[in-house]
Chains A and B, each alone.
Chain A
Amino acid sequence: MILKPNLEDLQNIAYYLGKIILGLGLVMFIPLGIGLFFGEINPALDFIIAIEITLLSGLILTKFCFSNRDLNWMQGMVVVALAWLLAMFLGAIPLYLSGHWNSYLDSCFEAMSGFATTGLTLVQDLDHLSFSHNFWRHLMMFVGGQGIVIIALSFFVLGASGVFKLYVGEGREERILPNIVHTSRFIWLVSITYLILGTAILTFFLRLDGLNFMQALFHGMCIFMAAFDTGGFTPNSQNILYYHSFAIELVTCVIMLLGAMNFNLHYHLWTAKRKEIFQDLEMRTFFSTLIFTFLIVAFGLSQTHIYPKTMLLFRKGFYQLLSGHTGTGYSTVYAKQFIQEWNPLSLFGLIMAMSLGGAVCSTTGAIKMLRVGVIFKALKEDLKKIILPERAILAEKFHHIKEVFLEDRLVRSTLFITLAYLGLYILGALVGMFYGYPFLESLFESTSAAANVGLSCGITQVSMPSFLKIIYIIQMWMGRLEFMAIFVLVGFLIALIRGK
């Protein structure tokens, strides 16, 4: 028998959703300030309207569904899944009002792409978009990368034990510090510190390129936010190619790598335990898969003879690969070039890298390195079991922050999430093929959406079918939250309808 959620469940969910929405409303004051600073009248009005709607929604939910009960697991997961959907609907309001998006669906696509740090875009005439709207696109990535709920955790101290459920629901399981609120605040501390450093370095290089200080600062901050949160938006339509700069490419490579690292590892780096980088299973797996997929891409590109020099191969082949592997989506080639100039082998290498992603407890999407490492460890253990005498007792271990025993339960949950990701990649590819797109292009775009990468081979554009846009939105949402919260939401809705 399925138990129907009671009124208390709904009230609790609505109350915590309200808190998160209020947090989002406060964040919108930043682009409003930018708009006022640059004297952008109508864009500022767009944000005033969006803030009013957001705060009003948050106010209604928190005041009229007031609750002082703690969240249980089911409620926590439902709150997270719904919070991301609501953030998409509310975050899309200023975008839609700007007139640079063809429909509200396109604005929602952009907002989800921003929050989920994907980077696929449906904006029109980006080169004439206001500073405030452009900043909002990048800020969504910065907020979404750290976690929408993390904001609420950091700024409004929610219930004591309930917060961990929200934290887990957002696709993070590891505590860096014993207290989850302190963990959230540490994540913000790391991000803000790197934001200041990264923006300063990028601004310096852009100033050398002749941009005035305000332009350089704006571009530097936007590029940093989208690179560190492995998002992939840029202020102009040509993405990183706009700057024609090797220095900017190198700096973004470093920022993308930092963004793909586990926040736990950042903590160890900050506390002078640098050896962790070389010992950690995730980082070892990351560098192994990066080399392996680069060999595939490089071999594929060498067959095409487009980039015959090493430097060209690095700036075009390696840059797109690192961008894909870290889930960023920064690009120095045009979308159509992937299909017309890269051969199937190099595209396969890139799709493979995109599907793997970076570290757990980072801002990347996709399967993630710890899971890939665990699967390889499990495979190694199984092979050993076959080779060694039956009576031999095996205990496989790996190093991830500490020494961890490879248990069946861990392997099972790892395989479950990995299969779910593979299923999600295939689902999007099938829908793409249903609309007549070729297999490789469909798989490329689907993997990019579901793994929150943002590289495009040209399918993502305003004229694409609306249903495909919705599928990509769902993929981005599911990929970012790592399934569990969404599965619980589906179960909750079924219980709401069919429960007794």
Chain B
Amino acid sequence: MKDNFKIFVFSFCFLFLILSFKFCFAKVLSSTELIENAKEYDGKVVVYQGEAIGEKIKRGNFFWVNVSSGKQAIGVWLPQNLMDKIKYLGNYKTRGDWIEVKGIFHQACFEHGGDLDIHAESISVISSGGIKEESLDIDKRNLAMILLGGLILGWILSLFRKK
């Protein structure tokens, strides 16, 4: 009985190790790694990090949020409670939250028309985004002033020429 229990525990641990290796990738992956090795990661739990960008797209009680790890962004499908954790979405004036998504990766999601996506199981905000400060570029302003002067001069000269 005791031996059977040991065999059971050993088998369970072995299977857990094998299966967790096969179906879950604990290493943080980039969008390029996921897109270029989509077949390998298809249907598996992946960990993906990136900046939440653009707009949140609402679909019933779920949302799409696109997460960019640098070169490319991947759509993440997540419920309302996970969406609530994301405060900032990146655009020209905003730096989006840098988030870590753990979820099931799909090379061609049957539920979403064949999109390459991640269905989030959990997310955590690694670093919070915020509003970006924009300061006037003095060099550009000076160049604009010089060119304006040139344009007015050119216009005046053209008037004389016409006469």
Residues of B within 8 A of A309 (CB): 110
B116 close to A337 (CB less than 8 A) = yes
Question: Which chain B residue shows the least CB distance to A209?
Answer: B57
Q: How far is the CA of A315 from the CA of B115 in the complex (A)?
A: 9
B140 close to A237 (CB less than 8 A) = no
A333 close to B151 (CB less than 8 A) = no
Q: Tell whether B130 is near chain A: CB-to-CB under 8 Å.
A: no
B72 close to A59 (CB less than 8 A) = no
CB within 8 Å for A336 and B116 given contacts A127-B53, A244-B57, A306-B107: no
CB within 8 Å for A41 and B136 given contacts A52-B147, A237-B68: yes
B90 close to A312 (CB less than 8 A) = no
Chain B interfacial residues counted at CB < 8 A: 48
Q: Tell whether A246 is near chain B: CB-to-CB under 8 Å.
A: yes
Q: How far is the CB of A221 from chain B (nearest CB, A)?
A: 15
Q: How far is the CA of A52 from the CA of B142 in the complex (A)?
A: 13
Q: How far is the CA of A244 from the CA of B78 in the complex (A)?
A: 13
CB within 8 Å for A55 and B151 given contacts A238-B66, A244-B57, A334-B35: yes
Q: Tell whether B59 is near chain A: CB-to-CB under 8 Å.
A: yes
Stretch in B13-21, B120-128, B155-163 touching the partner = B155-163
Q: How far is the CA of A426 from the CA of B54 in the complex (A)?
A: 39
Q: Tell whether B117 is near chain A: CB-to-CB under 8 Å.
A: yes
Residues of B within 8 A of A184 (CB): none
CB within 8 Å for A341 and B38 given contacts A52-B148, A59-B154, A244-B112: yes
CB within 8 Å for A312 and B110 given contacts A55-B151, A127-B90, A245-B57: yes
Residues of A within 8 A of B117 (CB): 244
Residues of B within 8 A of A307 (CB): 108, 114
User: B54's contact among A64, A242, A333, by CB below 8 Å, is which?
Assistant: A242
User: A237's contact among B56, B72, B93, B155, by CB below 8 Å, is which?
Assistant: B72
User: A337's contact among B35, B68, B151, B155, by CB below 8 Å, is which?
Assistant: B35
Q: Tell whether A200 is near chain B: CB-to-CB under 8 Å.
A: no
Q: How far is the CA of A42 from the CA of B132 in the complex (A)?
A: 13
Per-position 1/0 for A341-352, Cβ under 8 A of B: 100000000000
Per-position 1/0 for B127-150, Cβ under 8 A of A: 000000010110011011001101
Residues of B within 8 A of A129 (CB): 92
Residues of B within 8 A of A333 (CB): 116
Q: Tell whether A293 is near chain B: CB-to-CB under 8 Å.
A: no
Interface residues of A in 16-62 (CB under 8 A from B): 40-43, 45-46, 48-49, 52-53, 55-56, 59-60
Residues of A within 8 A of B140 (CB): 42, 45-46, 49, 97
CB within 8 Å for A59 and B54 given contacts A42-B137, A244-B115, A337-B38: no
Inter-chain contact total with CB atoms closer than 8 Å: 136
User: B57's contact among A131, A210, A237, A340, by CB below 8 Å, is which?
Assistant: A210
CB within 8 Å for A315 and B161 given contacts A42-B140, A59-B151, A242-B54: no
CB within 8 Å for A336 and B114 given contacts A45-B140, A241-B75: no
A238 close to B75 (CB less than 8 A) = yes
Q: Tell whether A128 is near chain B: CB-to-CB under 8 Å.
A: yes
Q: How far is the CA of A336 from the CA of B66 in the complex (A)?
A: 18
CB within 8 Å for A131 and B92 given contacts A56-B154, A312-B114, A334-B72: yes
CB within 8 Å for A209 and B155 given contacts A41-B136, A128-B91: no
Q: How far is the CB of A330 from chain B (nearest CB, A)?
A: 14
Per-position 1/0 for B35-55, Cβ under 8 A of A: 110110000000000000111
Residues of B within 8 A of A316 (CB): 108, 113-114
Per-position 1/0 for B60-103, Cβ under 8 A of A: 00011010100011010000000000000011110000000000
Q: Tell whether A394 is near chain B: CB-to-CB under 8 Å.
A: no
Q: How far is the CA of A55 from the CA of B148 in the complex (A)?
A: 10
Residue with the greatest number of chain A CB neighbours at <10 A, chosen from B57, B58, B110, B161: B57
Q: How far is the CA of A246 from the CA of B114 in the complex (A)?
A: 11
B54 close to A236 (CB less than 8 A) = yes
Residues of B within 8 A of A215 (CB): 55
B134 close to A41 (CB less than 8 A) = yes
Q: How far is the CA of A307 from the CA of B113 in the complex (A)?
A: 9
Q: How far is the CB of A58 from chain B (nearest CB, A)?
A: 10
Top 10 closest A-B pairs, CB basis? Answer: A210-B58, A63-B158, A52-B147, A312-B114, A315-B113, A45-B140, A127-B53, A130-B92, A316-B114, A209-B57
Name 16 interchain pairs, CB-CB below 8 A, sorted by A: A42-B137, A42-B140, A56-B147, A97-B140, A127-B54, A128-B91, A128-B92, A210-B63, A241-B75, A244-B57, A244-B64, A244-B75, A309-B110, A312-B108, A315-B114, A316-B114
